[in-house]
Structure 1
Amino acid sequence: MKKLKMIVCAAAVMTSATALADDARTASHEAGNVAQARTSMGAAVAAAEKHAGGKAVRAEYEKGKDGRWAYDVEVAGGTDMFDVRIDADAGTVIASTKDAADSDDEGDKAD
């Protein structure tokens, strides 16, 4: 039984290390792309805040399903949360949806 626990723990550590390495490669790839964006993250956040009438609580730079890079900004406005997608080149609002207050937007309609 003790040997089985050690094998399971070793497999979990190896899996975690692989996931962290994948995350690091993705993050460095995204960092390279954000340097090429015509709109800065600060400008994207300002546009999202103005559009939703609130304060940004989170911002990400990500590649959409359409293959275009954009900023995904979560904005708190009063008691509502909004996901605002900003075009990385034009700095304009691509999409905006009212969202439940959450810290994980994976799978949200605007993603």
Structure 2
Amino acid sequence: MKRNIYLTALAALSATAIGSAYAAKAMENDALAIEAAKIGLTQAVTAAEQHVGGKASRAELEKHKGQWVFDVEVVTGKKVMDVKVDPANGKVIVATEDQTDHDDDHDQAD
């Protein structure tokens, strides 16, 4: 009887440990991290376009310096800007010119 209780407890602890490891890994997946965002991708794109005055060509949720951000690539004139938008409040964190998109030969670096 004690053996059955011991095995049941061991199984429950193992399941808890595996579930916790899965949950931690799930937050590393940007597709699953969107659940924690307070704004949607569309709102992030709009904020980035308005901030830079251009049109978005790409957008995704990614980890930047340990923090989840919407990374929006915005084209304005002949410049390509990388705009980071806070998923909690929709404010632009930083906008920098993307130097890798200047050569325009569409290689792996772009």
TM-score category (smaller protein): 0.5 to 0.7
Aligned to 1:55: 55
Are the structure 2 counterparts of residues 61 and 30 from structure 1 closer, same or farther at C-alpha, using a change threshold of 3 Å?
same
Q: TM-score of the superposition, structure 1-length normalised? A: 0.63
Distance 1:70 1:98 in 2: 17
After superposition, the CA RMSD in angstroms is 2.4
Distance 1:63 1:90 in 2: 16
Q: Which has the larger radius of gyration?
A: 2
Distance 1:57 1:40 in 2: 17
Aligned to 1:64: 64
Are the structure 2 counterparts of residues 105 and 84 from structure 1 closer, same or farther at C-alpha, using a change threshold of 3 Å?
farther
Q: TM-score of the superposition, structure 2-length normalised? A: 0.64
Q: Which runs of 5+ in 2 are unaligned?
A: 1-24
Are the structure 2 counterparts of residues 105 and 36 from structure 1 closer, same or farther at C-alpha, using a change threshold of 3 Å?
farther
Are the structure 2 counterparts of residues 105 and 34 from structure 1 closer, same or farther at C-alpha, using a change threshold of 3 Å?
farther
Runs of 4 or more, structure 1, over 6 Å off, are 103-106
Are the structure 2 counterparts of residues 84 and 57 from structure 1 closer, same or farther at C-alpha, using a change threshold of 3 Å?
same
The share of aligned pairs that are identical, in percent, is 43
Q: Which runs of 5+ in 1 are unaligned?
A: 1-24, 107-111
2:85 is the counterpart of 1:89: no
Distance 1:50 1:90 in 2: 15
Are the structure 2 counterparts of residues 50 and 42 from structure 1 closer, same or farther at C-alpha, using a change threshold of 3 Å?
same
Note if contact 1:81-1:101 (Cα within 8 Å) is conserved in structure 2.
no
Note if contact 2:75-2:81 (Cα within 8 Å) is conserved in structure 1.
yes
